[in-house]
Chains A and B, each alone.
Chain A
C-alpha cells in the first residue's frame, strides 16, 4: 500500500491503471540515438564517394568506422530491453510481416552486411594487404584475416575496389535513409499515441540522424587529431560544418513544422500534450532540445559563417556547437520515447518516469552501451589506418 501511494504520488490527473509502468525505458532512448549516429556518419561518408566532395576525404574513413562501431552496438539496447531476449531470434525466423518491428532484423542485417561491412572492406582492402606484408607475428595474421586472405593490389584490382565502393555507396544512401526512417516509422505509425502518430516522424528522425552523425564525426575528428598531435585540415572541417549547418536548419524547420501542424490541427489530444510539455518536458524539450541543442549551436554556426574568425577560434566554436548538438539530439530521442509515454491514453493524466540506476534497463546499462561504440572505434582506428597509406611507401612485391 505504501508503494502504491508512492507510485500514485507521481501521477497527476487520471490514468488507466495499467499505464502506471513506463514500458519503454532509457534503453529505447539509446537505440534510436545510436542508429541515428550510424545513418548520419554514413551519409557524411557517402558525400565523398557519390557527390565527390573532395574536401571531406580526410574524414571519409573515420565516418565509415564511426558508423560501423555504432551499428555493432545498436541492437544491444533492444535485446537487453526484451523480457525474453532468448526468443529474439523468432523475429528473424518467423516474422509477423504486418509489424514494423519485425523488419528490424532484415533492415539491420542488410545495412551491416550488405552495405557497411562491404564498403569498409573494399575501402581498406589494399591497406590491409600492404600492412599484412609489412608487419610480423600475430598482427600479420590479423591483417591477413581482415583482408580475407586477398593479396592482389594490382591497379586493376584497385580499380575494381573503387567501382565496388561507389556502387555500394549508391545503394547505401537509400539504405541509411531506410534504417533511420524505419526507426522513426516504429513510433510514427502508432496511431493510439498522439505524441508519436505523425507522418513527419520518420523524416524528422532521419534529419536529426544526419545532424547527429555529422556532429559526431566532427567531434571525433577533432579529438583524434588532437590526441595524435596531427593538424586539423581546416578546409575539411569548414566544409563538414557547412553541411552540418544546412542539416541543422532543415532539421529544425521540420521539427518546427511538426509542432505548428499539431497546434493548428489541434485535435482532442492537444490539451494533454500542452500539459505534457508544460509540466513534464519543459526542461528537456524547451531548454535542452530546442534552446541548448538547436538554437545556440545554430547561432554559433551563423556567427562563424558571417564573421572571419581565425582557425583556433573556429575550432573552439565548432567543438562547442557539436557537443551541444549531441546533447540536443539525445534530448530529442528522450522527448520522443519517454515523452510519448508520460501521458495517459485517456488524455486525462500524466505519469512520471523514474529511471532505474543499476537495473538491466537502468542508467548504468545505458551508459555502458553509449561508451562501447567508442571503445570499438578506438580499437578500429588503432588497427586500421584512417588515412590512406602512402602509395610510395609500398614495399616491393
Chain B
C-alpha cells in the first residue's frame, strides 16, 4: 500500500467509526422504543414505572433516640463494610451547652465515647441527627463524575454504577455531606441508594423499616396519600446546607441551626 492510500484510509477511518457507532446507537434506540411500545421493556422492574414516583425521606429529630438500629440494618442490607468508618447512614449526637457552644459526636463510630459524665453537666439539651445521602435534586456528585457512573434516576434517587465507576473519587470530593466513600471491597464509590432494590418492589428502605420510633419517614412526593407528604405538611421542614443549592430530598423536622 502506498503512503497516500494509507493516509487517506487513516483520515477516513475516524469519521467512519463515528458514523458506525451513531448508526448502532440509533438501531439500539429504535429496538428499545419498539420493545417499550409493545410493553415488553425488559428493565427487570416488572410493573414498576420509575417516572411515576419522586422519592424523599423525612427525619423527625425529636423522635430519634440514637439506638443505631438504622445503621446496623443499612450495613446488613447493603453489604456496607462492617468497619468503623464506612457508612451509608450514621447518627450524630449534638450537645448544646449553657454558653450555646455545641459539640458533636458520631454515635455510630463512637467518636468521643471517652467523654466523662462530668463533661456533660453543663449540657442544656441534646439530640440525635441521622445522616445519609441527601439524594439531591441538583446533585454535585453526578455533575463531576467524568464517566457518568453516578446518575439520578427518574424517581429521584442518585445511584452509582459499579461496573462503570473508575474510582477517581471526584464525586466524594464534590459531596458536601460526606455521604460518599470508596468501598474497599468493590473499589468504587458507594453511598445510600434509598435501598433502591427494595423501592422497586414497593418496600421502604431498611433503615426506615427498623426504626422503632418512626423517626424516619419514607415516601413518594408524587402521591398525595404518601406519609412523607403529610409529614411535610405537618412539620416545619429544613434541609442541610441549603445555601449550596443542591436541593436535598432528605427533609428534617425540628432541625437545630447547629446541624451542618
Report A's interface with B, CB cutoff 8 A. 4, 7-8, 11, 14-21, 23-24, 78, 81-85, 87-88, 90-91, 94-96, 98-102, 104, 186, 190-193, 341, 344-348
Contacts and interface: CB of A to CB of B under 8 A. Distances in A.
Interface of B: 83-87, 90, 103-106, 108-109, 111-112, 131, 140, 142-148, 164-170, 172-182, 187-188, 244, 260
Nearest to A267: B243
Contacts of B177: 16, 345
Contact of A23 (B86, B148, B172): B172
Contacts of A19: 178
Given A82-B168, A91-B166, A96-B148, A17 B140 contact: no
Contacts of A11: 111
13 contacts: A17-B85, A18-B180, A23-B172, A24-B173, A83-B165, A83-B182, A84-B188, A87-B164, A186-B170, A190-B144, A191-B244, A192-B174, A346-B104
A90 B147 contact: yes
B140 to A, nearest CB: 6
A190 B105 CA distance: 26
- Give the dominant DSSP class at B's interface: loop
Contacts of A8: 109, 111
Nearest to A13: B104
A10 B143 CA distance: 32
A348 to B, nearest CB: 6
A100 B188 CA distance: 19
A226 to B, nearest CB: 41
A245 B103 CA distance: 48
Contact of A83 (B106, B112, B140, B187): B187
B176 A192 contact: yes
Contacts of A15: 178
Contacts of A85: 166
A94 B164 CA distance: 11
Given A23-B169, A91-B166, A98-B143, 17 more contacts: A7-B85, A14-B104, A16-B106, A17-B106, A18-B172, A23-B182, A82-B168, A83-B166, A84-B187, A84-B188, A85-B166, A90-B146, A100-B144, A104-B146, A192-B176, A193-B173, A346-B104
Dominant SS among interface residues on chain A: loop
Contact of A84 (B90, B145, B148, B167): B167
A17 B169 contact: no
B145 A96 contact: yes
A95 B144 CA distance: 11
Contacts of A84: 165-167, 187-188
Given A14-B104, A14-B111, A21 B146 contact: no
A268 to B, nearest CB: 8
A96 B167 contact: no
A96 B140 CA distance: 13
A15 to B, nearest CB: 8
B131 A99 contact: no
A186 B87 CA distance: 26
Nearest to B191: A18
B146 A101 contact: yes
A127 B208 CA distance: 74
Given A23-B169, A192-B140, A14 B178 contact: no
Contacts of A90: 146-147, 164, 166
Nearest to A347: B260
B166 A17 contact: no
A286 B84 CA distance: 35
Contacts of B169: 23-24, 83
A76 B148 CA distance: 22
Contact of B173 (A78, A192, A347): A192
Contacts of B260: 346-347
List the 5 shortest-distance A-B pairs measured between CB atoms, nearest first. Answer: A83-B167, A16-B178, A192-B176, A96-B148, A83-B187
A115 B164 CA distance: 32
